[in-house]
Amino acid sequence: MSDSGKKRSQEIREAGSSSVSLKKLAEYLGVSSATVSLVINRSPGAKSIPPATQERVRQAARELNYRPNLMARSLRQKRSFTIGVIVPEISEGYAALVMSGIEDFLLEEGYFYLVVSHRHRADLIEEYPLILQQRAVEGIIAVDTSCSETCTLPIVAISGHQEVPGVTNVVLDHELAATLALQHLQELGHKNIAFIKGQDFSSDTEIRWQTLHSVAKHLGVSMDSRLQHQMKSDSTSPEVGYEVTREILARNVPFTALFAFNDISAIGAIHALRESGRRVPQDVSVIGFDDIQSAAYQNPSLTTVHQPLREMGVIGAETLLKRISSGNKTDYPKQLVVKPQLKVRASTSVCPS
């Protein structure tokens, strides 16, 4: 900043209190109050303002200690610009990646959000939408959480599979996901495959399991019931996959590949396999699901079905804001489908002879 600019900045500070008004900030920058308002509030209209001007506004706001009056904005427009987000828990993996997409988009659009985690408690799943509604949120994003008809706000459910009035479901193409994983193992020569089923509380468990059976039958892949086991614990630790794999191993039924419900359980499964003296992938190939951030950095790096979780978060947030802006409670997308990819890494190889 030039000496004259610094002097002017000091004069503005001395003329006011600890912060300056939007009008004074606009005069200081030589732009309109509307320009400052659009940039500071991250309004969609700010996209038409040159990036250099936007940066000047933000820098001046920091230097002059400008604080927007969000309460006045809300009262003036009769809106809270706040979204509620409901998640099972906040931990590494599925929810964290979806949240990264949600928060990036909402931040860009100038929205605040409140996050609550229910830990799979039925009472909280029922109460949280109503509590968030009482906090004046304009809509709700439910991540891997069942939705009821008690909430009158627009809702977008990430991995939602129930047809509930007022809810848009963002879902994965599970048929393609199962096909990619099973065809990969078939091409490597695997016939005896173990499967880890998800917990009952996960929104994806039943649809993924049913689809897996359907695709396996179509491809001629055998699903031996002795090589199947379901996770029970609500822990987000790899220990859940570790314990389930130990249960499968204890049955002494040979298998050369394992398809886990998610990456976290796959990581636990690899530990159990190694503990039993089996090498991955030389003796047993392992495929995960989700493609969490640490999947590529495991030892061995994890072959997994990449679920575009961050993109699903962005789609969910964008869809919700469009629904809020339109104000139409009947004409809205009921379901949006995203496509998975198979990330082939070091945890799968040709079936041992």
3-state secondary structure the chain: CCHHHHHHHHHHHHHCCCCCCHHHHHHHHCCCHHHHHHHHCCCHHHHHCCHHHHHHHHHHHHHCCCCCCHHHHHHHHCCCCEEEEEECCCCCCHHHHHHHHHHHHHHHCCCEEEEEECCCCHHHHHHHHHHHHHCCCCEEEEECCCCCCCCCCCEEEECCCCCCCCEEEEEECHHHHHHHHHHHHHHCCCCCEEEEECCCCCCCHHHHHHHHHHHHHHHCCCCCHHHEEECCCCCCCCHHHHHHHHHHHCCCCCCCEEECCCHHHHHHHHHHHHHCCCCCCCCCEEEEEECCCCHHHCCCCCEEEECCHHHHHHHHHHHHHHHHHHCCCCCCCCEEEECCEEECCCCCCCCCC
Q: How far apart are CA 277 and CA 249, in angstroms?
A: 11
Q: How far apart are CA 273 and CA 118, in angstroms?
A: 33
Q: Is 75-171+309-338 CATH 3.20.20.120?
A: no
Q: Which long-range contacts (CB under 8 A, 24 or more apart) does 276-279 make?
A: 276/246, 276/249
* Dihedral angle sign, alpha carbons of residues 223, 226, 232, 236: negative
Q: How far apart are CA 103 and CA 109, in angstroms?
A: 10
Of 92, 102, 144, 95, nearest in space to 293 by CA: 92
pLDDT in tens, the chain (353 residues): 455 555 555 554 444 445 678 888 888 899 988 888 888 777 767 888 998 998 998 888 888 887 766 555 555 556 788 999 999 988 777 899 999 999 999 987 878 899 999 998 999 999 999 999 998 999 999 999 988 877 889 999 999 998 999 999 999 999 999 999 999 999 999 999 999 999 999 999 999 999 999 999 999 999 999 999 999 988 889 999 999 999 999 999 999 999 999 999 999 999 999 999 999 999 999 999 999 999 999 999 999 999 999 999 999 999 999 999 888 778 899 999 999 999 999 999 999 98
Q: Is 3-68 CATH 1.10.260.40?
A: yes
* Dihedral angle sign, alpha carbons of residues 127, 132, 136, 138: negative
CATH number of 174-307: 3.40.50.2300
The yes-or-no answer to whether 75-171+309-338 and 174-307 have a common fold is yes
Where are the chain's structural domains? Answer: 3-68, 75-171+309-338, 174-307
How distant, in Å, are the alpha carbons of 31, 77, 199, 268 from that of 139? 34, 16, 28, 37
